[in-house]
Amino acid sequence: MDILQRLGISLPVATGSIGLIIALIAAMGLFGKKNHMPVAGRTILLTGASEGMGRSAAIRLAAKGAHLILVSRNLERLEESLAAVRAAAASPATQRFTYISADVSEPDYATGVVAQATAWNGGRSPDIVWCVAGLSTPLLWTDDNAMAAARRNMDVNYFGSAEMSRAILREWLRPENAAPGRNSEPKHIIFTASVLALFAIVGYAPYTPSKWALRGLADTLAMEVNLYPDHPIKLHVVCPATITSPGLERENQTKPAITVELEKDEPPQTPDTVAEKAIAGLERGDYFVAVSFLGNLMRCGVMGASPRNNWLLDTLLGWFIPIIYFFVLKIMNGQVRGWTSTHGNPAKTRPKRKISRGRLVSEIQPTIGMKSSVIRSQRGRPNKVTKQGPPPRGRTPRQVTATHLAATHEDDQAHVTLSGELKDGEGDPSSVFEDVRMGAEDYAAAAAAAAAMDNDLTEDAHGEAEADAEMDDDDDGTGASSNMPHVDLTAANILVNGGSNPQGVPLSQPVQEQLQEMQQNLSHAHQHQHPHQPAAQMGGHQGVDQSMVKTTEDLSRDSGYGDLNVESALAKRLAREPGQRLAQQRRPEQALNLARRSNVEALFAHIAGEPARIPCKNCHKGHGPWTSCVVVDGQMCGSCANCWFNASGARCSFHETRNPQAVAQHPAILPAAPAGFSNDPGYRLGAASHPLLPHGAAALGGVTHPGGLLINNPVLQQMVNRAMGEVRQADKATRQLIRIEIAAKQLALQIVETEEMVNHQDQAGQQVLNDESGA
Ligand X SMILES: NC(=O)C1=CN([C@@H]2O[C@H](COP(=O)(O)OP(=O)(O)OC[C@H]3O[C@@H](n4cnc5c(N)ncnc54)[C@H](OP(=O)(O)O)[C@@H]3O)[C@@H](O)[C@H]2O)C=CC1
Ligand Y SMILES: CCCCCCCCCCCCCCCC(=O)[C@@H](N)CO
Question: Active-site residues: which are they?
Answer: 207, 211
Q: Does 259 bind ligand X (CB under 6 A)?
A: no
Q: Which of 346, 714, 690, 740 is nearest to 501 (CA)?
A: 690
Three-state DSSP class for residue 615: coil
- What is the end-to-end Cα distance of the chain in Å, rounded? 94
Rounded to 5°, angle at Cα 260 from 282 and 49: 35
Q: Does 195 bind ligand Y (CB under 6 A)?
A: yes
Which residue number, 244 or 653, has a Cβ lying nearer to ligand Y? 244
552-556-562-567 Cα dihedral, nearest 10 degrees = -50
- Residue 263, contacted partner among ligand Y, ligand X, none, CB below 5-8 A by kind: ligand Y
Bridge partners, residue 236, by sequence:
190
Site residues for ligand Y, 349-368, by CB under 6 A, read none
Q: How far is CA 136 from CA 78, 152, 153, 211, 261, in A?
A: 21, 9, 6, 10, 17
Which residue number, 88 or 447, has a Cβ lying nearer to ligand X? 88
Among 251, 412, 442, 473, binds ligand Y (CB under 6 A): 251
Among 43, 56, 165, 242, binds ligand Y (CB under 6 A): 242
- Residue 702, contacted partner among ligand Y, ligand X, none, CB below 5-8 A by kind: none
* Residue 417 backbone phi and psi in degrees, to 5: -85, -25
- Residue 266, contacted partner among ligand Y, ligand X, none, CB below 5-8 A by kind: ligand Y
- What is Dmax (Cα atoms) for the chain? 108
Site residues for ligand X, 62-101, by CB under 6 A, read 72-74, 77
User: What track of x and - describes contact with ligand Y for positions 129 through 158 (by CB under 6 A)?
Assistant: -------x----------------------
- Residue 149, contacted partner among ligand Y, ligand X, none, CB below 5-8 A by kind: none
Site residues for ligand X, 230-249, by CB under 6 A, read 240, 242-243, 245-248
Dist CA 342 CA 156 (whole Å): 36
Among 98, 105, 533, 642, binds ligand X (CB under 6 A): 105
Bridge partners, residue 290, by sequence:
239
Q: How many CB atoms lie within 10 A of CB 749?
A: 10
Dist CA 375 CA 379 (whole Å): 12
Dist CA 385 CA 407 (whole Å): 29
State the nearest-atom distance from the C-beta of 101 to ligand X, in Å.
8
Secondary structure (DSSP) of 404-431? HHHHHGGGHHHHHHHSSSSTTTTTSHHH
State the nearest-atom distance from the C-beta of 716 to ligand Y, in Å.
34
User: Which one of the spans 28-36, 225-233, 241-249, 618-626 is the region binding ligand Y (CB under 6 A)?
Assistant: 241-249
Site residues for ligand Y, 268-297, by CB under 6 A, read 294, 297
Name residue 121's amino acid. N
Three-state DSSP class for residue 546: helix
Q: Does 656 bind ligand X (CB under 6 A)?
A: no
Dist CA 6 CA 54 (whole Å): 35
- Residue 209, contacted partner among ligand X, ligand Y, none, CB below 5-8 A by kind: none
Which residue number, 288 or 645, has a Cβ lying nearer to ligand X? 288
User: What track of x and - describes contact with ligand Y for positions 300 through 339 (by CB under 6 A)?
Assistant: -x-------------------x--x---x-----------
Dist CA 60 CA 41 (whole Å): 14
- Are 612 and 669 in contact by the 8 Å Cβ rule? The answer is yes
**Total residues at interface with ligand X (CB under 6 A):** 33
Q: Which helix (H) or strand (E) holds 454?
A: helix 443-455
Which residue number, 104 or 321, has a Cβ lying nearer to ligand X? 104
State the nearest-atom distance from the C-beta of 247 to ligand X, in Å.
2
**Total residues at interface with ligand Y (CB under 6 A):** 23
Which residue number, 397 or 578, has a Cβ lying nearer to ligand Y? 397
Which residue number, 328 or 605, has a Cβ lying nearer to ligand Y? 328
Name residue 751's amino acid. I
Give the residues lining the site for ligand X (CB under 6 A).
47-54, 72-74, 77, 103-105, 132-136, 156-157, 192, 194, 240, 242-243, 245-248, 271, 470
